[in-house]
Structure 1
Amino acid sequence: MRLTDEEVQFLLQEMEGWKLVEERWIAKKYRFQDYLQGIEFVRQIAAISEEVNHHPFISIDYKLITVKISSWRAKGLTKLDFEMAKKYDEVYEKMK
């Protein structure tokens, strides 16, 4: 179920580095020490995303990985988007 604007703003306050984009996406940039570390991060979050069949847009710019997520069926953001964002952050923290 799609979240209201107020719910999105509330959840974003708890999410470090995540930003609202075009009122229907949340996005975050992750920086890595080297290219292959960033690629490993992408591999790990792709596996997590595949498990629940909820896939983000991922952009690889050398050592900078940008992740953008939304729920197509809901035409906006859902709790699942924020749950996935937290999982991606957990992967990043373990890799630091």
Structure 2
Amino acid sequence: MLYTDGELDEQLRQLEGWKREGHVLIRKYTFEEFMKGIAFVDEVAAISEAFGRHPHITIDYRNVTLHLATDRENGITAQDIRQAHEFNEAFDKTR
């Protein structure tokens, strides 16, 4: 089930660092060292496999950007929000 605009705005207020661009959630994570960013990407991969949903990942030296959306539903769902929270938890552990 897709969130309405109002529901999504409420969820984003509770989701540190994430923003919405159309039907996609985006967050850029910055690390002190390149290898910490790579370790984070490994965590993102494990979380993504568990969810069965995979974000677009861009690695640019110490920056990792994630783009998250449910393609088959053409929007953002509760599962996307839960996954974004798990990515944030992985970031807190990795940095």
Same fold at TM > 0.5? yes
1:1-96 matches, cutoff 5 A: 1-21=1-21, 23-96=22-95
Stretches of 4+ aligned residues off by more than 2 angstroms? none
Which amino acid letter does the alignment assign opposite residue 10 of structure 1? E
TM-score by length of 2: 0.96
Q: Is the 8 A contact 2:39 2:94 kept in 1?
A: no
Please give the secondary structure, in 2, of the residue aligned with 1:76.
coil
Which amino acid letter does the alignment assign opposite residue 18 of structure 1? W
The Cα shift of 1:33 comes to 1.1
Find the aligned partners of 1:95 and 1:52 in 2 and give their Cα distance: 20
Matched residue pairs, number?
95
The Cα shift of 1:52 comes to 1.8
Find the aligned partners of 1:9 and 1:38 in 2 and give their Cα distance: 28
Structure 1's unaligned 5+ residue stretches are: none
RMSD: 0.8
TM-score by length of 1: 0.95
Q: Is the 8 A contact 2:43 2:90 kept in 1?
A: yes
Find the aligned partners of 1:52 and 1:76 in 2 and give their Cα distance: 16
Structure 1 residues 25-83: Cα deviation after superposition (integer angstroms, max 9, x where no partner): 11111001111110110011111101221111110000000011000111100001100
Structure 2's unaligned 5+ residue stretches are: none
